[in-house]
Amino acid sequence: MSGLTLQGRNRLRLFGLLSPVTLLIGGFFVAPLLIMAAYSLAEPGMYGGVEWNFYPDSFGRVLGWADGSNEEFDIVYLEIILRSFRIALLTVLVSLLVCYPVAFWVSRLDARKRNFFLFLITLPFFASLIVRLYAWVLILRPSGFLNQFLHHLGINAELDLIYSETAVLIGLVYIFIPFMFLPIYASVEKLDRRLIEASQDLGASRWQTFRKVILPLTMPGVAAGSIIVFIPSLGNFIVPSLLGGAKVLMIGSLVEQQFLAARNWPFGAALAMLLMASVLVFLLLYVRSLSRAEALEGRP
Amino acid sequence: MLDLITRPLRHAVIGGTLIFSIGAGTAQAAEELRLYNWGDYINPEVLTRFTAETGIKVGLDTYGSNEEMLAKLQAGATGYDIVFPSVHMHDTMAALNLLEKTDINQSPAFKNIDPAYLRAKSDPKGEYCMPYAWGTVGIFYNKSKVSKPIETWTDFFNEARAGKKVAMLDDMREVLAVGLISNGKSVNTTSADDLKVAQDWLLERKPLISAFSYEVVPMVQSGDVVAAQYFVGALMYVKQDPANLTYVIPKEGATMYQEDMCVLKTAPNKANAKRFMEFFLRPEIASLNTIQQTNGTPNGEALKLLPAELKDNPAANPPAEVKAKLQIFNDLGKDLKKYDRAWTRVRTAN
């Protein structure tokens, strides 16, 4: 060690500190991604798996081109992708509308109640997701608890929610709400109340205070929450299957179908790659808007 | 296919292993047998009795579809002795050289097996695998919620036209099969025109279908869904509530499935596996399984031991003229792709 210069030692230390992370990301993220990319360009094998011939048609098929004989141009897969985006965006929107006010309310509770509430938010994770979704089937079906409850209140609205897009939305919002709530709560809690008072003292209306002070300061939480909710909603396949009756097909179900029933691994891999690529675009937009906002504020 | 019961379990039981063992008394040299079967597709009592008689511990892992099982084996899963592929998967696995020759057909009790069930083209004499169980996929419905007894797919969709909910399976080939059968086509067609006919027929009825799902049993029991495409194992639930529930094979015809019991090339306990197959050839054991599963058995002697409610039930053991109308799936190789797009079309349409 004594032979090393200070710079050399620093470099060694840096290497030592970075290598576990690099290995982790390389081994568990980059390598599987490369495998998937390779599979997406291979020819589908007869019994699942792939044959190692270059075969770019899977990507064309996503866009609607016929793959092999007897197929016609049909944009069915593209329609599913668009629908998945719509449902994922709606999920983000609804959970945002629910979580934002609640986060403010919780941040004003005293410490004990607040901790209890945070505990409640994470409580569902103790039970299996499948079990909780089955519970929603029992709630939403026509003879289910929701209608029984309404009936008790004297409302005889036979709500018919199960197996619809609404049911899928309810299920997705239900699952992902904690992921929206926690980042928003973190940024709301950090919010300096004196800034709100200052804004009001200086004559800003409530709306102006919200628009110019509160919202920008809590924006990082909102953005983080939205992304954490958007990405898994986009690829979810269990909710559309259980609550949507597999009629509201989303891209996750399509990928599953390709790997199992349809035995077309390359097409499944191609779909997954496109899904990831589009998520990446969203992330890049997010990062760019963040850095632009910082540049505007004149921060480094 | 018979995903049906197993699907709900699949999510919950993935990777779960149940070990059936009797006492700890005979736990010397750990004799073992590892089964890899569809979820809920064997009577646990059969395993318990096998262990009691032989001292061999039986482990059971489950899967939800042929493809899942094959994918796992192809990915290098080892340690399993016996698997239960459907007939077309039996052929696929033979082509991939995954199966061990057992000469089970040399066992004296093999004469109990009706040769009509030696369906696998790769194994016409039963040198590798033995037929395990079979059943049909038909309509499971709630008698108290429908306007008249359902006998055909037309009746089924008429209930939906009257505003009731009906469901079909979340299964590519089973759903398209209904479209094909209703138009007099083979369920193994590779003609794009045939598939187009089936697809259009289903698209026309798509607004009537509430869901594609395996988890319909509680919905039919409660009447929220009045009728659902389901497999003969539904008789298990009919037995609990015969006043309201029933299962029928539609008049147009239906698909049937059959699974075979096969030993893997990589099996660590081949001798025990063969012992289990011979154990299962016994009529009293095969019938014990069939009674619990409420499906069909290829074992002619076991059939005689079934209670009348099962043996004489045309839904479980259909008469010859109905049986003649049953079609079984073949492996389609690359033509499967055509089914995929038709199926995706049907699922996506509004």
Question: ipTM score here?
Answer: 0.77
* φ, ψ of residue B275 in degrees (nearest 5): -60, -40
- Between A and B, how many residue pairs show a Cβ–Cβ distance under 8 A? 110
Q: Look at B224 and A242 and tell me if their CB atoms are within 8 Å.
A: no
Set of chain B residues whose Cβ sits within 8 Å of the Cβ of A138 = 218
Residue bearing the bigger pLDDT, B337 or B274: B274
Using one digit for the tens of pLDDT, what is the confidence trace for B296-316?
999 999 999 999 989 999 999
Q: Is B171 annotated as a binding residue?
A: yes
Amino acid B3: pLDDT: 43
> Is B331 known as a binding-site position?
no
What's the start-to-end Cα distance of chain A, in Å?
A: 37
In this model, does residue B256 exceed pLDDT 90? yes
Contact between B120 and B94 (Cβ < 8 Å): yes
Structure tokens at B211: 């869901």
Domain ranges of chain B: 3-134+258-316, 135-255+323-348
C-alpha distance from B28 to closest chain A C-alpha (Å): 38
The yes-or-no answer to whether B3-134+258-316 and B135-255+323-348 have a common fold is: yes
CATH superfamily of B135-255+323-348: Periplasmic binding protein-like II (3.40.190.10)
**A76-107 and A215-235 are packed helices; what angle lies between their axes, rounded to 10 degrees?**
140
Q: What is the pLDDT of residues B2-44, one digit of tens each?
A: 444 444 434 333 333 444 434 434 444 579 999 999 988 999 9
Which of B213, B332, B346 should we substitute to test contact with A (largest number of A Cβ atoms within 10 Å)? B213
Q: CA triplet B307, B312, B315: central angle to 5 degrees?
A: 115
Contacts of B71 in chain A (CB under 8 A): 48, 259-260
A46 contacts B333? CB cut-off 8 A: yes
What torsion do the CA atoms of A173, A254, A80, A250 make, to the nearest 10 degrees?
-10
B172 labelled ligand-binding = yes
Gyration radius of chain A over CA positions: 24
**What pLDDT score was predicted for residue B153?**
96
Question: Which stretches of chain A are assigned E, i.e. beta strand?
Answer: 42-44, 50-54
Residue B210, chain A, CB below 8 Å: the answer is yes
Average pLDDT over residues A46-72: 80
Instruction: Nearest chain A residue to B3 by CA: give it.
Output: A261
- What pLDDT shows up at residue B186? 96
> Across A140-149, B19-28, B43-52, B67-76, which has the greatest mean pLDDT?
B43-52
Rounded Cα gap, residues B113 and B126, in angstroms: 10
pLDDT value for A296: 64
Provide the pLDDT for residue A68.
66
Residue numbers in B near A67 (CB within 8 A) = 337
User: What domains are defined for chain A?
Assistant: 76-263 (1.10.3720.10)
In this structure, the number of other CB atoms found within 10 A of the CB of residue A26 comes to: 12
The residue of chain B nearest to residue A132, with distances taken between CA atoms, is B12
Q: What's the gap in Å between the CA of A19 and the closest CA on chain B?
A: 30
Reported CATH class of domain B3-134+258-316: alpha beta
Q: CA nearest B168 in A: which residue?
A: A245
